[in-house]
Structure 1
Amino acid sequence: MNKIIFFFLFGICFNSFSQDYRIADLKIQGNKRLKASFVKKIASINAGDVLDSLVIEEDMKLLKRLPSISHAYYQVFPSGDNQYNVFYNIEENFTLIPSANIYTTDNDEFAYRLGLYEFNLLGRNIAIGGFYQKDIYDSYAFNFRAPFLFSRHWGLAVNYQDLTTQEPVFFDDTISNYKYNNESIEILGLFRLNFNNKFEFGINYFVEDYSYKFGATSPIVPRELNVHKWLVKSIYEYNNLDYFYQYVSGFRSIANLQYVTSMNAMLPDFFIGWNDFLYYKRVGERGNWANRVRLGLSTNDETPFAPFSVDNNLNIRGVGNTIDRGTGAIVLNTEYRYSLYEKNWFVLQVNAFIDAGTWRNPGGDFDDFTDMDNVKVYPGLGLRFIHKKIYNAIFRIDYGYGLTQDSSKGFVFGIGQYF
């Protein structure tokens, strides 16, 4: 280690990384299932390149973001004639992972989602898997995602789902409940421009089916509705996050724009877009402050089928299952995570959070965001049981308690951090 520190101090002092020293070879160590050829494929350096510590550091951040890697570091050793061997040292994750999300509220709601995913298929960081969901009705989905399928810049994702839920429909200050089914197939192209910036773009064909179950009725709101739709999607992500096992620091922004066209006049064409801003900061040795802000707007049609929902598993912990809908959303999630106990592979983490949000009513205006009927504030506490050597092996339990009017309270269980 002392040799490495001396080498880099020497390089910085004499600015020689970008002038004299070159890479003799890139070697991969510590990998078992992950293919060394894959690591070299996505790495930014090759034999013969100028030795640049900043480029290597970016590779380390990229590798630590991969589901198949829990930690990565590098070493540099001289090989003669101003050339150096670079070693990328890999600590792998276990990547065949079950997933689970469960929630309850004081309204006796209970729903769950169980899945199984492999995140390192063929040793090339390909994710494949699916889930089964029970939320009154049965649902299932299949997902395939290979961000480096074609090259270090180009990949592909394919998603199929058949989701059925009981959804509230809001109109004339009343509520009706429908059995809602959404069957879709989606194909996305994945493009990584550089270390920080990547894009997704593609199409989604889906069929929505609404069937009236109980509640209020209206002559202008159909009891049965079956609609075929096309969706064009584009996503831009800026990612400057740095990981050290369960700790995260940095900034990330994800912008999602969609245009949906319908073959039924009851559900008109519309635009929808939202941006998630995420900021993480290490606090001392064991603390982590995590924040997410979502800003979203859609075409402001006065429709009972508005696209933005208020939901336990999406934005407000403890609020319940799709208790409201809107054509705009402002959501803030902030929490402080503290590693109470950490030894070898296991971490017990506690957290305190505040989830807050407000929505624009369908056909309403921006004043709706300040209407107290639309504002939800839910503080709460949670636990995290973390396995440091298994990808996303974070079992979370959160309890949210509503402070605003007509609030509920309840537990939310899941795999992975909430955000």
Structure 2
Amino acid sequence: MRALFLFFLCLFPAHLALAQEGMVADVKIQGNKKTKSDFIRKLLVQQTKAPLDSVLMDKDINRLKRLPSISHAYYQVFTAENGQYNVYYTIEENFTLIPFANLYTSTNDDFAFRVGLQEFNLLGRNINVGGFYQFDIFNSYGVLFRAPYLFSRKLGLGFNYKDLTTQEPVFFDDSVGEDALYRYNNTGYELSGLYEFNFKNRIELGFSLFTEDYQYQSGATSPDVPQALNVKKHLFKLIYNHDNLKYDYQYLEGFRSTLNFQYVGSTDEQLPEFVIGFNDFAYFHRIGERGNWASRLRLGLASNVDSPFAPFTVDNNLNIRGVGNTIDRGTGAIVFNTEYRHTLVDRNWFVMQGNVFLDGGSWRNPGGPLSDFGQNQNIRIFPGLGVRFMHKRIFNAIFRIDYGYGLTNGDGRGFVFGIGQYF
């Protein structure tokens, strides 16, 4: 019996040493200057005193590359004492205090711009705060706060305030003969809760109180359409995002889907309550060493109210490059954007890309049938060319210039300038 006891006593330390093989002794963060190490550790799934797992570490790297504060990341594994391992995550940081600008014009003499400043890594914890000023005939401004990891690695909060004023066309039926121009103002607050289910899936639930104000400026009038409206509204919003993209500096690979569903309540029958939902499907594919094919499909429907204030718009800066600023409205939308991006210059910090694109879409008229999508007068097709100038160490530092030329319905042509990729 004593011999058997001594045998197991000798076996136990050997078994303990075997159990410790493949374990992580420590996870170390290096290369970060502004982003807090404890914040990065909070996001990692590979933890200290856990088994070493290359699958988890690959997920960590993909997650880190998605953060605005990080341009690139990689890991290294080194042997520690007792057969354990030290894992080093090396971070290449972005500069995150970013001015931005969007400018767009067309042959219709439309001109508008939005400029602002955003900090994407406040307190070293990837908190986004910023503000903007917009000129689109009238002056507008807004501020935002977004902290996706404020409470934990899964739970965050967002808030924004906006005071937007634009000149909006109101489209009447053929019996009126022409359109009208209204001064439109939207002022309101929005509060959102942000939750991340896992690495690929997250949700946002929001509530907003706002006021819409329409004031007639010029053009046609109709006894059925008031010349002045001031309506208090409320909004419930759900956004579900599935993101399975892989990032390698300016290159993207994979699939992303974003569902946006909203209920808008109203206090005035002239602007009745409605429901709107749309889904953006995006697919990216690497081609060779320097090529990237990018495509986006948007499918959307709203309550089919016969109103000149329909929610979906045809617009330069949203869906069709070169078409002009809010040239049409509808209660449904099908939009497809596709482009090939090719890196022409790639230096240590600077990248220049050229692109060729095709934007196309169709809209359902307010109160109209689904067959409106197939009507020639509702279809817009704009091919074009563009160029991108990028800084690899500054988040979203992509200055883009696109020129689109219309092939349908006597459409015009125009330039669209902006910060960031179009989609």
* Alignment TM-score > 0.5, same fold: yes
Distance (Å, rounded) in 1 between the aligned partners of 2:171 and 2:367: 12
Whether 1:239 aligns to 2:240 is: no
Displacement of 1:51 after TM fit? 1.2
- Do the aligned residues in 1 keep the contact of 2:20 with 2:83 (CA within 8 Å)? no
Shift in CA distance, 33/220, structure 1 to aligned 2, threshold 3 Å: same
Displacement of 1:341 after TM fit? 1.0
Corresponding residue number in structure 2 for 1:50: 51
Distance (Å, rounded) in 2 between the aligned partners of 1:67 and 1:164: 30
Percent same amino acid at aligned positions? 62
Structure number with greater Rg is 2
- Do the aligned residues in 1 keep the contact of 2:20 with 2:82 (CA within 8 Å)? no
Whether 1:278 aligns to 2:279 is: no
Distance (Å, rounded) in 2 between the aligned partners of 1:32 and 1:19: 33
What does 1:14-413 correspond to in 2, within 5 Å?
20-173=21-174, 174-413=178-417
Distance (Å, rounded) in 2 between the aligned partners of 1:19 and 1:383: 54
Deviations 1:55-81 (A, max 9, x none): 111110010011100000000111132
- Do the aligned residues in 1 keep the contact of 2:278 with 2:299 (CA within 8 Å)? yes
> Would you say how many aligned residue pairs link Structure 1 and Structure 2?
402
TM-score by length of 1: 0.95
Deviations 1:386-414 (A, max 9, x none): 11110000000000000001201000000
Displacement of 1:48 after TM fit? 1.1
Distance (Å, rounded) in 2 between the aligned partners of 1:184 and 1:296: 24
Distance (Å, rounded) in 2 between the aligned partners of 1:238 and 1:51: 27
Partner SS, residue 201 of structure 1? strand
Partner SS, residue 179 of structure 2? strand
- Range with greater deviation from structure 2 (339-348 or 312-321): 339-348
Distance (Å, rounded) in 1 between the aligned partners of 2:395 and 2:190: 25
Deviations 1:34-60 (A, max 9, x none): 100100011112211121111111110
Corresponding residue number in structure 1 for 2:4: none
Distance (Å, rounded) in 2 between the aligned partners of 1:50 and 1:412: 51
Distance (Å, rounded) in 1 between the aligned partners of 2:299 and 2:65: 28
Displacement of 1:19 after TM fit? 9.7
Partner SS, residue 373 of structure 1? helix
Deviations 1:140-190 (A, max 9, x none): 010111000000000000011000000001122331110000001000000
* Unaligned ranges ≥5, structure 2: 1-18
Distance (Å, rounded) in 1 between the aligned partners of 2:305 and 2:410: 26
Distance (Å, rounded) in 1 between the aligned partners of 2:47 and 2:53: 11
- Write the letter of the residue equivalent to 1:339: T
Partner SS, residue 377 of structure 2? coil
Displacement of 1:82 after TM fit? 3.3
Distance (Å, rounded) in 2 between the aligned partners of 1:19 and 1:197: 33
Corresponding residue number in structure 1 for 2:16: none
Distance (Å, rounded) in 1 between the aligned partners of 2:50 and 2:369: 57
* Unaligned ranges ≥5, structure 1: 1-17
Displacement of 1:20 after TM fit? 4.9
TM-score by length of 2: 0.94
Corresponding residue number in structure 1 for 2:14: none
Distance (Å, rounded) in 1 between the aligned partners of 2:56 and 2:121: 25
The RMSD of aligned alpha carbons is 1.0
Deviations 1:358-402 (A, max 9, x none): 000000011000001000000000000011110000000000000
Distance (Å, rounded) in 1 between the aligned partners of 2:204 and 2:265: 19
- Do the aligned residues in 1 keep the contact of 2:21 with 2:82 (CA within 8 Å)? no
Distance (Å, rounded) in 2 between the aligned partners of 1:326 and 1:361: 5
Partner SS, residue 278 of structure 2? strand
- Do the aligned residues in 1 keep the contact of 2:144 with 2:161 (CA within 8 Å)? yes
- Do the aligned residues in 1 keep the contact of 2:70 with 2:94 (CA within 8 Å)? yes
Deviations 1:221-251 (A, max 9, x none): 0000000000000010000111100011110
Distance (Å, rounded) in 2 between the aligned partners of 1:345 and 1:141: 31
- Do the aligned residues in 1 keep the contact of 2:28 with 2:86 (CA within 8 Å)? yes
